Amino acid sequence: MPMHILRTDWLRAWLLGCAALVLVACGGGGGGGSDGGDGSGEVPPPAADFLDDPALDALGFTSFESGPVRPLALSADGATLLAANTPDNRLEIYDVSGAAPALRASVPVGLEPVAVALRGSSEAWVVNHLSDSVSIVDLAAMPPRVKQTLWVGDEPRDIVFAGTGREYAFVTTAHRGQNAPFDPQLKTPGIGRADVWVFDAASPGAGAGTPAKILTLFGDTPRPLAVTPDRKTVYAGIHFSGNRSTVLFNDALAGGLDKPGPQASADGVEQPVTGLIVKYDGERWLDSGDPENGEPPRDWSERVRFELPDYDVFPIDAATLETGTPVAGVGTTLFAMAVRPGSGELFVGHLEARNEVRFEGSGERSTTVRGHFAESRIAVVDGSGAVRQRHLNKHIASYDAPLGTEAERALSLAMPSALAFSADGATLYVAAFGSQALGVFDAAKLADDSFVRGGDMIALSAGGPGGLALDAGRGRLYVLTRFDNGLSVVDTARRSEVAHVRMHNPEPAIVVAGRPFLYDAKLGSSRGDSACAGCHIFGDMDHLAWDLGIPEDSVAESPNAYGPTNRFQQRPSFHPMKGPMTTQSLRGLAGNGPMHWRGDRTGVSRDADESIEEQAFEDFNVAFVSLLGRESELSSEQIDAFARFALEIRYPPNPIANLDHSLSADQAAGREFFMTRQVDGGNTCNDCHRIDAAAGDFGTSSLQSAEGPIIDEDFKIPHFRNLYQKVGRFGSTGNPNDGEPQMGPQIRGFGFQHEGVASTVEEFLSAALFLFPDDQTRLQVESFVLALSGELAPIVGQQVSYSALTAAEPGIDERVALLVERALVTAPRPECDLVVKGVFGGQARGYVMNAQARFLPDRAAGEVLDLTALLALAAEEGNVATFTCVPPGSGARIGVDRDADGVLDGDESSV
C-alpha cells in the first residue's frame, strides 16, 4: 500500500473552526451563492460531518518511478529556469540570474511531469507521463497558471517545438490510451506501437485539444526527440527498440533443441528443456555458441518466421509532417538524443544489451555476462543514416577479469540519460544517471572514436542526473538530480558544481534512501558501469529475454506451495540452468508472494517482522556478485533499503480499460467465463489467476503451477497487470515444418509467457489443457485480461481544465462529471481522490473533493463549494480550474496541504 501520513490535528481544528458554515460561509474564495452557503441554495452540513472523509483522512504518496526525459528548460535570456518536479506534480519556475536558483513560482500540472519545453518567453508545455496529458502554462500571467490541458496518448514522454517558426509541438506517446482516437489493434501483427502527436502550437484546438496529426512509428514505445538547428527536421527515438534478438520455442515433447553446452549443472543434473535466444546478424539468426568448448554459433534461420527491422530513429519533416527513412541498429534502449551544431550529426545516448550471451556467474564452465551485460554508449548517426557506435567506457581494457579495478570504476559513466551540445558543437555534455557525474567530451573525437577517457568528468553532489540545460553565454550548465530531486549549477569553465538546491519532495524517506541501489553503478558493480536499472529500466522492464542460469550451481529444492491444479506431476525444484526468461518489472511486487518467473526467490528465510516479499527481494542480493560483478553482496542494511524502495513502486493505470471501469460486451463475457467456468482440470481461471481488487489480487494466487509435459519446469502463477506492454511480437519460432506462415516485419522479438514465445494471450490460451467451448470465448477472455486494472483504477491521473475558453467545448463537462463520479466510488475499493488546482480572482487556489461531492478549500477561511459553484467560478473571465483524479489517499496532500505540515497551502507565507 502507498505510504500514508495519518491525519494531523490541523484537519480537526480547521474543520471545527469552520463550524459556522452551518449558518454562513467562512469567507474568501468568492463565487458562492448569496444565501451564505455554497452556491447550491442548500445549507451545507456541519463541518464535523467531514471529519471521517477518506479524502481528508491521509496525506499519501504513490511511487511510480517515472524517468526524467526533458525536465529542464532555460529561457532565451538565461534568466529563468523551468524544472519538472516529477514526484510533486509541479512545474517549478526559478530565477537563475543570481549565484543559485531562487524559486519564483510553482505551478501544479499533471501527475508525473517528465518533460518541459518553452514556446517563446511566455508559454511552457509540460508533458505529464501518468496523466496522459500536456499542461500549457501561461508564464506571463500573475500568478503563472495552466491555461489548457491537452489529452494525448498513453504515457507521453518528450516534447519539442519545430518548424521554421516553431509552429508545431511534437509529443511522443505509446500507441494506446483512453484519449487516443483509434483502436490500438493489440491483436494485429505488423502495427507500430509508437506515436508522435503533433499539435499546431498557436492553435492546439479548443477544449482538450485536437492534434494536427498523429504519426505512428514502427517501434515499441517512443521516448526522446531532437530537432535540427534549422528546425526543419525532428528525430523521434524508440525507447524500447530491441536488438534483433528473439527466442526459439523448445517443445519438451518434441525432444528439445540441440543447444550449445554445457548440458548439465555442477551436480550432474541434465538441464531442463528450455528455449534458446538467437540474434539476427544481418543475414542469419545465430545462437551464441559455446566458446569455452570450441562450439561456434549455429544458424537457426529456418525456425524464425518473422523479421525484426529494429528501427530506432525516425526523421520527421516538420513542414509536411511526414516520416522519412528510419535508422536501424542505433541501440537497445534509447534515452536521449541531440543534434550536433555544424555537422548535423545525431548523437544518441543508449544502452546496448548483450542478452544473446548465455549465463551469469563465474563463467568457469560457460560464457557469462557477469559485470558486462549491457554497455553505455553514444551512437553517432550521420546524414546518410550510417551509425557509428561509441562505447563510453572504453577505458575498461578487458571484461575477462572477474572484477574491475578502482581506476576503472572512477572513470565509468553509466546510463547516458541526457545530452547537451555547446553552441559551436565542439563539446558534448552527457548526464550519466547511474554515476553521479557528467561526462564532458570533445564531440569530434567522440565521433571518430579517438577520445581518451581521463579528466573528462564533472562530479555532482547528488546522483541521478537526468536533465541538462546549458547557458553558454554565462558558462553555466543546469542539471536535474533525481536522487534528491534537486538542481545543480555547474561552471563549465571550471568544470565544477558551484551551487545546489532541492525542490520540494513528497516522497517518503524509504523511497529516497533506497533509490540509489537501483541505479548507482559505482555502488552496484566493481567497474562502475553496471546497475540493476540496466535491465529494470526506471523500475520496469527492458522488454528482452535473458538466459541467466548459473551452470556452476546445483539443483535446489523448492519450498513453494502449489495451486489447485494437480493434473500433472509436480517438479518442486529449481535447476540452475533455467533457460531464457523475459525481464520482469519491479512494479507491484508487494503482496504477490515469491519472486521471479519460477518463484525461486522464495522469501522463506524472512524474519518475523518481514513480509515474504521483502525477504524474496532481498534474496536477489546474490545477483550483485553473479550478474553485476560486484566484489561482495550488499550489506543487510543496504539490501533492506533497496527492498523497501522497490516494494513501494506501483503499476500505472491500465490504458486499455475504460475510464469508467465498465466492460465491453466481450470483456464482460470473458470475465464471466474466467470467474465461473471450469477450464483446467476442474478449476476456473480464477482459481489460479485470482482476481480480487479489494484484496489486491490481480491475476496471481502467488502459488506454483505444475506445467506438464510441454514446459519442463514449474512456474509461479503470473499476474496480468502489464499484459498490454507485451504486444508486438507475432510469428512462430517453433518447428520449421509446423506450417506456420512467414509474418514479415514485427516490432518485438519477445511476447507472452516466461520465455516470450507466445504472440498473443489467445495463443497461450490455445494450449490443449485449457478447455474452452469455442474460439470466441477464448478471445473474450483475452479481451478481459488485457484490460484488467491493477492497484490503480484507470481514471487515476486523468485531468481536464475548465475555464471561460473551454467550458462550452465538447467533452469537457462530460469529463468533469466522469472524474467526480469515479472519485465517489468506494467499492470494491476507492478509485481516486479528486483535486482541483487553479487561479481564481488572481489567486492560486486548491480544493479536494469530499464524500459528499463538496470541494474543501486550501485555506482555513475558505468557502466549501459544490460542483456547480466551482464550475461557475472557474468560468469567470481570467479564472481557470484543472480537475485531476489522483491516487486514493493523496488528495489532501496534492489538493490542499502540499508539505503536510498542518498549515493549508493558501495560508502558507509562500508555496
**Residue 50 in grid coordinates:** 467531514
Closest to 136 measured CA to CA, from 152, 120, 124, 121 = 124
Distance CA 748, CA 504 (A): 39
First to last CA, the chain: 28
Cis peptide before 143 (omega within 30 of 0): yes
**Residue 484 in grid coordinates:** 534528491
| Residues 836/819, Cβ–Cβ less than 8 Å | no
- The yes-or-no verdict on residue 565 having pLDDT over 80 is no
pLDDT, tens digit, for every residue of 149-193?
999 999 999 999 999 899 999 999 999 999 999 999 999 999 999
**Residue 21 in grid coordinates:** 458554515
Quote the pTM value.
0.93
Looking at residue 358, its amino acid is: R
| Residues 264/576, Cβ–Cβ less than 8 Å | no
pLDDT, tens digit, for every residue of 526-544?
999 999 999 999 999 999 9
pLDDT, tens digit, for every residue of 320-371?
999 999 999 999 999 999 999 999 999 999 999 999 999 999 999 999 999 9
| Residues 798/132, Cβ–Cβ less than 8 Å | yes
pLDDT, tens digit, for every residue of 604-645?
999 999 999 999 999 999 999 999 999 999 999 999 999 999
Average the pLDDT over 725-736 and give the result.
95
Closest to 547 measured CA to CA, from 764, 282, 748, 354 = 354
Average the pLDDT over 811-821 and give the result.
97
Distance CA 114, CA 157 (A): 6
At what angle are helices 775-786 and 665-676 packed, to 10 degrees? 100
Please give the C-alpha separations between residue 60 and each of 91, 248, 795, 834, in angstroms, as whole numbers.
20, 45, 18, 14
DSSP designation for 142: S
Number of residues written out for the chain = 911
pLDDT, tens digit, for every residue of 441-477?
999 999 999 999 887 999 999 999 999 999 999 999 9
Beta strand pairing call for 159-162 and 145-151: unpaired
| DSSP code per residue over 93-132 | EEE-SSSS-EEEEEEE-SSSEEEEEEETTTEEEEEETTTT
User: What are residue 477's DSSP bridge partners?
Assistant: 470, 490
